[in-house]
Structure formats: structure tokens, C-alpha cells
Amino acid sequence: MRRMAVMGAAGRMGKSLVDAVQQRSPVCGLTAAIVRPGSSLVGADAGELASIGRIGVPLSENLQVVAADFDVLIDFTLPEVMLANLAVCRQLGKAMVIGTTGLNAEQKQLLVEAGQDIAIVFASNFSVGVNLSFKLLDMAARVMGEDADIEIIEAHHRHKVDAPSGTAMRMGEVIASALGRDLQQVAVYGREGHTGARERETIGFATVRGGDVVGD
């Protein structure tokens, strides 16, 4: 059985990940769960917190303390937290599954470098449907070429902490690559006031946050 650890196990996504890992038994199982240092939940059972029943995995506040208990760390936390965990896993030779969004180019390069030493799976979205949409966007962009104005509008729940979302940014990257453009040069994030006519090569992003929208 592959031994899995979940970082941020007390959060919305973390609890979902705990549940998802346990559903994959006996292929893999949760053997460690980590929360932020000083959390009042340290010592609580990860399964009970995720509403799946007691699984005998207490929440820890220190990744290195439970290093011997897992083979793969699943990390969907904030960029600065994930990068600190990346350094630890790289040092210890632990594999990682990373779903952190909001990374800049320099931070993504750190993932590439760490990938020379440890196994890393990184994606802005792990949904099969969304990844299929990336492929379809690539095809559509190549076929339509310069004949379309590109605007990406996305919506998420009020708890989403980064904007635009990682999925929206990945869509922009896919389209820009297909059209031979540099997204950093052509991206426009929101518009306000007298902006003038739309420049042909720009890729626009608009963000909506509110309610309990899972993601649109």
C-alpha cells in the first residue's frame, strides 16, 4: 500500500483529500495528516474531522516529525507553505502531488528543479473534464487563429484565495502557447475606466467570487 500524507488536512480541500485517499484503499491509505503549527486541532483524528469516521491518523503540526510515516505528500496549500514543504520533501526523498495554484514563474521553476530529485505530479486542476478542456482549447485556438477575441471569465466560492484561478491561468497559458504568444505579455486582468479599444493579441481575465460556487 502506498502511504499518503495530506498537508492542510483541516481545511476544505484537505478534508476532501483525506476522504479521497481513504476511498482508494487498499491501493493507498492515509498514514499522516498535517495542519498549521499551533492549530487547536492537533491530535484530533483526521477521519473524524473529514466526517468519514475514525481512521487512527492523528493530526500533526510538523511535517518532519511524521516523515517516516508516509511515501507521498499531497499538498494543495498556499504557495509559500507548499514551497517550504517542497524543500523538506526534496531533502527527505519524498514524492509529492501538488495542486497549489497562484504560483509565479519563479516558483514554478523551483518545482522543475526539485523534480530532478524527487517524483512530482503538479497540476492546476486534476479533473479529467478540465484537462480535456485544455486539449480542446489548444485545438480550437490553432484552428481559429487570430479570428477570435479571447476572454476568460471564471467564478469560484467566496473562500477562494487566489485570482484568477489556477485553472483559468492554465487555460490562458494553453491558448497563448497555441497562438505563439507570451501570456505574461498579453494578459489583461480586469478592466476599469476608459481603457481604449481592445488590443488584438490580448487575452483577458475576469474574476467573480461569491457564495458557494464550486467553479465555473
Sequence-distant (6+) residues with CB within 8 A of 135 are none
Contact 44, 58 (CB under 8 A): yes
Cα–Cα distance for residue pair 163/185, rounded to 1 Å: 18
Can you tell me whether residue 210 is helix, strand or coil? coil
CB count in 10 Å sphere of residue 25:
11
CB count in 10 Å sphere of residue 155:
17
The one-letter amino acid at 184 = Q
> Which of the residues 94, 159, 160, 194 is marked catalytic?
160
- Sign of the alpha-carbon dihedral angle for 81, 168, 98, 184: negative
> Which of the residues 15, 108, 156, 194 is marked catalytic?
156
* 157 classed as catalytic: no
Q: Which of 102, 81, 80, 113 is nearest to 7 (CA)?
A: 81
Residues labelled catalytic: 156, 160
